[in-house]
A = this chain, B = another copy of it.
Amino acid sequence: MAKILITDDEPKIREMIRKYAQYEGFDVTEAADGMEAVELCTERNFDLVIMDIMMPNLDGFSAVKEIRRIRPQIAVIMLSALGEEYDKVHGFDLGVDDYVVKPFSGKELMMRIHAILKRVNPQASASEVYTINGMVIDCSARTVHIDGVRVNLSPKEYELLVYLVRNTGIALTREQILQTVWGYDFFGDDRTLDTHIKLLRKNLGEYSRYIVTLRGVGYRFEKES
């Protein structure tokens, strides 16, 4: 998994980011200021650096400039307090990959990290492949093959399948599924999910037997037997 260096002089912020990043499976290291970040980057390589701007010893911009000299490939996300518009431009001039304004949500930051790592190295995020007997789901290609034959799924069908498979053996309520696959703001008809399950089952052919209806609850993707 990708190696990330978090640079901020506030331990609380570092901790918050670290928790989120570790939850997502990243290999996380912390630095308390720009100087420490530069030292760490000299010693070993990171895929991405999260860098605050205002810091003692060495500010974020100078640190990034130095780090880029050593590791031109490294991805950089700058953090800064609200309203420092000049910094934004300055940051992008330096070739910074993204820019996040404090206060930010952990989720948002993670999404940006994923987006950047994907952009920089799409193959690296190519590892997710689920194999259920003769059914192969390749998340990087966004394809589903059954016995070697490609199955065309609509976006909703695909996402629904991946969500179910990722939670193989776990009962998922209708609400959970709708919230995850459709989003928090879905207030549509209660039969929408039924219909998509139906379409998905149709497309999966005999593999539809893995999608089990839990009456009064929702659905579950069966473990291989």
A: residues with CB less than 8 A from B are: 92, 97-98, 115, 118-119, 122-123, 126, 140-142, 154-155, 167, 169-172, 175-176, 179-180, 184-185, 214-217, 220
Contacts and interface: CB of A to CB of B under 8 A. Distances in A.
A169 B184 contact: no
Given A97-B184, A115-B175, A170 B217 contact: no
A98 B179 CA distance: 11
Contacts of A170: 122-123, 126, 140-141
Copies of this chain in the oligomer? 2
Query: What are the 7 closest A-B residue pairs judged by CB atoms, nearest first?
Result: A142-B171, A155-B216, A122-B167, A140-B170, A122-B170, A141-B169, A119-B176
Nearest to A180: B119
B215 A92 contact: no
A185 to B, nearest CB: 7
Given A119-B180, A123-B170, A142-B214, 13 more contacts: A92-B185, A97-B184, A115-B175, A115-B176, A115-B179, A118-B176, A122-B170, A122-B172, A123-B167, A126-B170, A140-B169, A154-B215, A155-B215
